Amino acid sequence: MGKLVCPRCGYENKENALYCNLCGHIFRYEGKRRKLQRLQTRRSFYDEIERNKRKSYFLMMLFGFLVVVLGYLIGQVWGLGYYGVVIAGVIALIMLLVSYYRGDEVVLALSRAKRVYYEDDPRLFNVVEEMKIAAGLPTLPKIYIIEDTAPNAFATGRDPWHASIAVTRGLLNKLNREELQGVIAHEISHIRNYDIRFAMIAGILLGVVAMISDAFLRSMFYGRRKRKVSVKGQGGVVILVIAILAAILAPIFAKLLQMAISRKREFLADASAVELTRNPRGLANALRKIASDPEPLEVANRATQHLYIVNPVKKIGMKAKSLFSTHPPTEARIRILESMVV
C-alpha cells in the first residue's frame, strides 16, 4: 500500500488518509470521496480523545521496547547476556522513582514559578475551581504564577492528587475570561488524562536510553571495556556492529518518539478541554493570541518547552512542523478545535 505524502509538512500518511496525521492538513479528493471527507472531518471530542489515547499508548510501548532491545544488545557485547536488560530496567526504575517524587518541584523551580493563593488572584482561582469540578478532580491543583509578560501556561505533577498549574502574568493580563477558561481546561485535562505522568515517564525513558547509549559508546572507544568485548567470531562482530549502531541511533529514535507523544497529548488535551468547557472557541482564540504574541518567555528552555501549552522556544509556524517539534502546528490545533461538534 502506497503512502500519501502531506503537501504541507511532508509527513507520510496512510494511502486513504482524510487528513495529515501530523499537521492536520485536509486532503482533497474528487467524487464520492469528497462527500465521505465532509462527513468524517467533523469529529467529536470523544473521537479525538480515544484516537489520541490509542496512539499514545502504542508509542509508549515502542519506547519500552527500545530500552529492552538496547539493554539486550549491550548485554550481549559485554558478556552479561540477559542481565543487560535487567540493568537497563533497574536504571530506568531508579530514575523513575527519583523523578516521580521530585520532578515537579524541579520544573517549577526552573520556571521561577511562585505559589499563589485565592486572595492573590480570585479570578484565576475561580476558573481553576470551575474546571476542577467539571473534570471531577479529587483536589484543587496547586496554583503558581510566573512573573513574565509572555502569555503561556503548563501543568506538572504525578497524578490528580499531586498536581500543579503554572500560568504567566502575561497570560492573565492578555486573555479574557473565556480564553483563560480554555487554557485552564487544557491544563486540567493534562492532569485528568495523566498526561503529566505520561510526559514524565517518556522524558525519563529518553534519559535512560541516552545515558545507556553514551556509557556503552564511551566504553567501546575509551574505556576498559574496549579490550573486554565478549562476542567472538563473525556472528559476534555482527552483534557488535548492531549494538554500536543501536547506541548511536537509539537516542535519536527515542527523541522522535518523545516528541511524537508530546504532540499527541496536546491534541488530546485540546479535545478534553472542549469536553469540559463545551466551548472550543475560547481555547482556539487563546491559542491564536499566545502563538501570535511577540514577547519571548525568558524562563523557558529546551528542558521545559514541551510542558507549555504553546512551545515558547521555537517560533510557531517556522519549525513547528518538524518531527522534533514538541507541539503540533498551532494552526492545525485551531482548525481541529473549530471543526469540533459540541
Active-site hit among 48, 187, 266, 275: 187
| C-beta of residue 31 within 8 angstroms of C-beta of residue 20 | no
Q: Is 145 exposed, middle or buried (0-12, 13-18, 19+ CB in 10 A)?
A: buried
CA distance 256 to 246: 15
Among left, alpha and beta (phi > 0; psi -120 to 50; other), residue 81 is left
Dump the DSSP string for 172-184: HHHS-HHHHHHHH
Residue 129 known to be catalytic: no
Looking at residue 177, its amino acid is R
Distance CA 20, CA 5 (A): 8
What CA–CA distance (Å, rounded) separates 270 from 337?
7
Which residues belong to the active site? 187
